[in-house]
């Protein structure tokens, strides 16, 4: 090769000129090809290679959040994937996320529905999946101003208090002999609180079981129906017939019929109670169904035309949004504390110092537990929702790329909440970061928004935080927690499921050690 190079350099001028021209032409051709391959401003975002029919689904089958992180590193903060037949734009930048949920919030006001949601919510009148129509705006206003208002969240403290007290009593009965399945208990706690707040305490089940337990099971069943089912129709409409062969369509319709029938019984019972008492519960303990029926009875503008289907849809929205996410937050908070004993000890000392010698935790005590709040914020950063979904109503240019109308957009919170440019040691559980003024976010900043942003922000944020804070405070106040069978903290399995919300793959089992005098630990 060296001899050939020397020959070229010492050859006659015509040969040298021709060689130079050839090299220049080749370089120009490569440059032109590279420019052609680079996405032009206003074009579609870059896309990873995809397989026929399934598109990029295979890249999300294992661990979706880590898969999306790898793709974002390769293709940048905005990329276009194809999940079966449907294009999905993935946003992994806090700055771009804020443009979607704030600057261009009106364009990205819709959400993509699923087969399960379409069957469960007959029609488009619901809060979670419906487009931004008249009913959506009305029901959201109802939630923000009445059902989930700060006043009503505070009024529902008795529900949290009673259900958490039942859990504490149940755990005390276990003693400190064996480990308990805390994941299961916390899921039941979340479902019982939400079902009581939404449905009240009417006796309509006709079952030998406790009525609240029946409603709690219903809440869990509905949550699983939406989050755990894979439908071919949702990704490859040409294969929707497979859902019929697998029996998915039949199971979904049967579940929806059972849920609707049960909710009709609940609403009928509340209507009878209102007629008998000339108004809702005399003790002023109003559940969400009470409030909606009262507004309807009084002819509140817009609400006087609520149909039975509308009320069912709002009730189901509350159940779906409240059970799974809250149960996951409770579970992951306790798992992280078990994984980090020094942090658990620190937050326990705060909780027990605030409670002092009282026999129960008052709601006003929670506001003094600053470090507890930091622990829960950090849990939401690491284990909170991984994807915030939106759907565009018209074509728009974001980050220099043109997105077509109707494209689904995934805001990748998993990456944004772990951005090393925004967070020190982003993969570590460090609640103290929220004591720093730099990280004193309130859910509205572009680097931390576990409850979403813009007009689709979760209206139940205050309700959920009150439930998680009170539940964790009681678990830490009245019990010490040990890992079972001599397990070390670093051996605790922290893998999460691929569902949304994500639960621990291996349920959290801990040994509760009752504490009779928490004040002694201050």
Q: Could you report how far apart the first and last alpha carbons of the chain are, in Å?
A: 80
Res 376: pLDDT: 97
Q: Strand pairing partners for 81? A: 88
pLDDT value at 72 more than 70 = yes
> For the chain, what is the mean pLDDT?
82
Alpha helices in 112-156 (DSSP H): 115-120, 134-142, 150-155
Q: Write a three-state SS string for 402-418.
A: EECCCCEEEEEHHHHCC
C-alpha angle 155/431/339, rounded to 5°?
A: 100
Q: Which two tokens stand for residue 162?
A: 């009673």
pTM: 0.85
Res 215: pLDDT: 65
CA-based max dimension of the chain? 111
Of 124 and 293, the one with more pLDDT: 293
CB atoms under 10 Å from CB of 31, counted, come to 10
pLDDT value at 378 more than 50 = yes
Counting every residue written for the chain, the total comes to 522
pLDDT in tens, 98-144: 899 888 988 998 888 888 888 888 766 788 888 888 888 888 888 88
Cα 334 to its chain centre, rounded Å, is 18
Res 35: pLDDT: 40
- At 509, which helix (H) or strand (E)? strand 509-514
> What is the torsion angle, in degrees rounded to the nearest 10, for the CA atoms of residue 100, residue 102, residue 105 and residue 106?
-140
Q: Which two tokens stand for residue 231?
A: 């439908």
What is the DSSP pairing of strand 86-91 with strand 408-412?
Answer: parallel
Task: Give the percent of the chain with pLDDT over 90.
Answer: 41
pLDDT in tens, 255-277: 888 888 888 998 998 988 876 65
Contact 197, 241 (CB under 8 A): no
Task: Give the percent of the chain with pLDDT over 70.
Answer: 79
Residue 458, marked binder: yes
Closest C-alpha among 322, 88, 93 to residue 199:
322
The position carrying tokens 């930048």 is: 93
Q: Which domains does the chain have, with CATH numbers?
A: 39-514 (1.10.630.10)
Q: Is 23 exposed, middle or buried (0-12, 13-18, 19+ CB in 10 A)?
A: exposed
> What is the torsion angle, in degrees rounded to the nearest 10, for the CA atoms of residue 221, residue 227, residue 229 and residue 230?
170
**Distance between CA atoms of residues 494 and 503, nearest Å:** 10
**Cis upstream peptide for 371 (omega within 30°):** no
Q: Which of 140-154, 197-211, 231-245, 259-273 has the lowest mean pLDDT?
A: 197-211
Res 441: pLDDT: 54
DSSP string of 333-369?
HHHHHHH-HHHHHHHHHHHHHHHTT-SS--HHHHTT-
Average pLDDT over residues 273-291: 69
**Distance between CA atoms of residues 432 and 421, nearest Å:** 18
Q: What's the Rg (C-alpha) of the chain?
A: 27
Res 517: pLDDT: 61
Of 445 and 105, the one with more pLDDT: 105
Res 462: pLDDT: 94
Supply φ then ψ for residue 89, to 5 degrees.
Answer: -90, 125
Cα–Cα distances in angstroms (integers) from residue 69 to residues 12, 43, 375, in the given order: 55, 23, 25
Res 226: pLDDT: 66
Of 33 and 81, the one with more pLDDT: 81
DSSP 8-state assignment for residue 103: I
pLDDT value at 34 more than 60 = no
Supply φ then ψ for residue 197, to 5 degrees.
Answer: -65, -35
Closest C-alpha among 180, 100, 232 to residue 507:
180
Res 394: pLDDT: 92
pLDDT in tens, 411-443: 999 999 999 988 999 999 999 999 876 655 554
What is the DSSP pairing of strand 387-391 with strand 78-83?
Answer: unpaired
pLDDT in tens, 315-354: 888 888 888 899 999 999 999 999 999 999 999 999 999 9
Contact 502, 496 (CB under 8 A): yes
Res 501: pLDDT: 81
**Distance between CA atoms of residues 142 and 156, nearest Å:** 17
């Amino acid at each position: 090769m060296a001899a050939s190079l020397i020959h070229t350099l010492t050859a006659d001028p015509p040969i040298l000129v021709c060689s130079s021209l050839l090299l220049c032409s080749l370089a120009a051709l490569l440059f032109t090809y590279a420019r052609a391959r680079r996405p032009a401003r206003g074009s579609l975002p870059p896309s990873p290679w995809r397989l026929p029919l399934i598109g990029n689904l295979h890249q999300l089958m294992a661990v979706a959040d880590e898969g999306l992180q790898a793709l974002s590193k390769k293709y940048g903060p905005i990329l276009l994937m194809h999940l079966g037949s449907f294009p999905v734009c993935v946003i992994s930048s806090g700055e771009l996320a804020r443009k979607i949920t704030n600057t261009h919030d009106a364009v990205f006001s819709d959400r993509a529905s699923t087969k399960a949601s379409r069957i469960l919510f007959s029609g488009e009148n619901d809060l979670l999946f419906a487009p931004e129509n008249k009913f959506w705006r009305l029901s959201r206003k109802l939630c923000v101003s009445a059902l989930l208002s700060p006043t009503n969240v505070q009024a529902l403290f008795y529900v949290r208090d009673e259900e958490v007290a039942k859990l504490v009593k149940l755990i005390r009965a276990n003693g400190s002999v064996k480990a308990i399945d805390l994941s299961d208990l916390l899921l039941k706690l979340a479902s019982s609180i939400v079902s009581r707040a939404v449905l009240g305490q009417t006796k309509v089940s006709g079952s030998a079981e406790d009525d609240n337990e029946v409603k709690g099971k219903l809440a869990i069943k509905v949550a699983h129906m939406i989050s755990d089912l894979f439908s071919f129709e949702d990704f490859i409409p040409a294969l929707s017939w497979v859902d019929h062969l697998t029996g998915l369509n039949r199971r979904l319709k049967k579940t929806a019929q059972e849920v609707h029938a049960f909710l009709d019984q609940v609403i009928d019972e509340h209507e009878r109670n209102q007629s008998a008492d000339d108004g809702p519960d005399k003790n002023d303990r109003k559940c969400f169904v009470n409030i909606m029926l009262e507004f309807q009875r009084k002819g509140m503008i817009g609400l006087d035309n609520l149909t039975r289907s509308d009320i069912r849809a709002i009730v189901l929205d509350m159940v779906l949004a409240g059970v799974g996410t809250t149960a996951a937050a409770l579970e992951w908070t306790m798992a992280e504390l078990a994984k980090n004993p020094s942090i658990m000890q620190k937050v326990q000392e705060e909780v027990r110092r605030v409670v002092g010698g009282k026999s129960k935790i008052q709601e006003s005590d929670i506001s003094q537990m600053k470090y507890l709040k930091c622990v829960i914020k950090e849990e939401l950063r690491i284990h909170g929702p991984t994807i915030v979904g939106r759907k565009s109503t018209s074509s728009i240019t974001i980050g220099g790329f043109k997105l077509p109308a109707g494209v689904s957009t995934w805001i990748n919170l998993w990456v944004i909440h772990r951005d090393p440019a925004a967070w020190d040691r982003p993969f570590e559980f460090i609640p103290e970061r929220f004591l720093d003024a730099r990280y004193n976010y309130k859910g509205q900043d572009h680097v931390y928004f576990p409850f979403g942003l813009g007009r689709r922000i979760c209206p139940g944020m205050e309700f959920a935080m009150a439930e998680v804070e009170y539940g964790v405070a009681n678990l830490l106040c009245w019990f010490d927690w040990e890992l079972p069978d001599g397990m070390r903290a670093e051996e605790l399995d922290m893998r999460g499921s691929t569902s949304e919300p994500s639960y621990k793959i291996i349920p959290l089992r801990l040994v509760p050690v009752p504490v009779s005098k928490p004040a002694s630990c201050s």
